[in-house]
Amino acid sequence: MTASGDFASTPPFVVRSPAQQRVPFVFNSPHSGRFYPARFLGMSKLDAMAIRRSEDCYVDELFAGAIALGAPLLAANFPRAYLDVNREPWELDSRMFIEALPAHANTRSARVAGGLGTVPRLVGEGQEIYPTRLPLAEAVARIETVYKPYHAQLKRLLTHTHAQFGFAALIDCHSMPASIRLGDGGMRPDFIIGDRFGVACAPELSETAQTILSGLGYKVVLNKPYAGGFITEHYGRPARGLHALQIEVNRGLYLNERTFERTAGFSALANDMTRFAADMMAIPDHWLTGLPLAAE
């Protein structure tokens, strides 16, 4: 079997849609996939628990309340350790492959240097995924059969939303380790909002997100250390009425990171995320309008 057959029984991603989309919002959970193909596990030197260290566990479930509110949710089934769609399509590490990489590959990004390219080399705290180098064809197959279809689907959702409402807001949903601490005082943020330092969305969108979460009693930080990845940067075009906002949830609020089991705080947090989504959807339309969307 090859990468093209890894998701023969389980689709690589799924769109969970309301009966009718009623709001100009699209939710995306690209790192919460937890279907690990048997072939992939056989290629890895990590066990079935260790390989999950980069997974945004259950983030798709935390934000699932947005669907009943009228917004679609795109969620990965493939795991982040297998493929990271929050990267450029060819952001690859030359140390991982037998053959030389194509000239169009981005081999020098900070993410590649950290082992976290499109096809990751590491999970968690620097654990190597593979015991040997991979054939380049392995990366190509994952990009062609999973990465490109995923982004094509996300683009369709945003294009449809923009056509229906005249603007669209993407909420890109992620989680971060409970061990994160910021500043000299070692403050533990509950949420980090990323808007690429004001480039990816109207300022009112990120300001509203911070206000809502703070009002729910959470500690909220903007852009540091997570300002938003490729998805936020690539799809956020506020001047054209396309807004992208990344939200990072502290796993300590809802997850036992050793066993990957939901803790007692999961239900309350999921309810808060539904309230967050509802309040975000209530923002005035004129904050999100932009210039007409040009054909590409």
Tens-place pLDDT, residues 140-176: 999 999 999 999 999 999 999 999 999 999 999 999 9
The one-letter code for the residue type at 23 is: V
What pLDDT was estimated at residue 295?
A: 46
In the predicted model, is pLDDT for residue 79 greater than 90? yes
Return the biggest CA–CA distance within the chain: 53
Q: What is the mean pLDDT of residues 68-81?
A: 98
Domains of the chain, by residue range, sit at: 3-83+142-287
In the predicted model, is pLDDT for residue 2 greater than 80? no
Are the CB atoms for 209 and 243 separated by under 8 Å?
Answer: no
In the predicted model, is pLDDT for residue 275 greater than 50? yes
CA 91 – CA 105 distance, rounded (Å): 6
Hey, how many other C-beta atoms are within 10 angstroms of the C-beta on 112?
A: 23
CA 162 – CA 159 distance, rounded (Å): 5
Tell me the torsion sign for CA atoms 143, 147, 151, 153. Answer: positive
Q: What's the chain's average pLDDT? A: 95
Q: Which residues are bridge partners to 75 per DSSP? A: 14, 29
Are the CB atoms for 272 and 220 separated by under 8 Å?
Answer: no
What pLDDT was estimated at residue 222?
A: 97
The pLDDT tens digits of the residues spanning 168-204 come to 999 999 999 999 888 777 889 999 999 999 999 999 9
Specify whether the backbone of 166 is left (phi greater than 0), alpha (psi in -120 to 50) or beta. Answer: left
What are φ and ψ of residue 122, in 5° steps?
-125, 160
What pLDDT was estimated at residue 183?
A: 79
Would you place residue 296 in the very low, low, confident or very high pLDDT band (cuts 50, 70, 90)?
A: very low
What pLDDT was estimated at residue 186?
A: 83
Architecture of the domain spanning 3-83+142-287 = 3-Layer(aba) Sandwich (3.40)
Q: Which residues are bridge partners to 222 per DSSP? A: 193
CA 274 – CA 290 distance, rounded (Å): 27
Alpha carbon separation from 111 to 88, 120, 180 (Å, rounded) = 10, 9, 18
Q: What is the mean pLDDT of residues 92-115?
A: 95
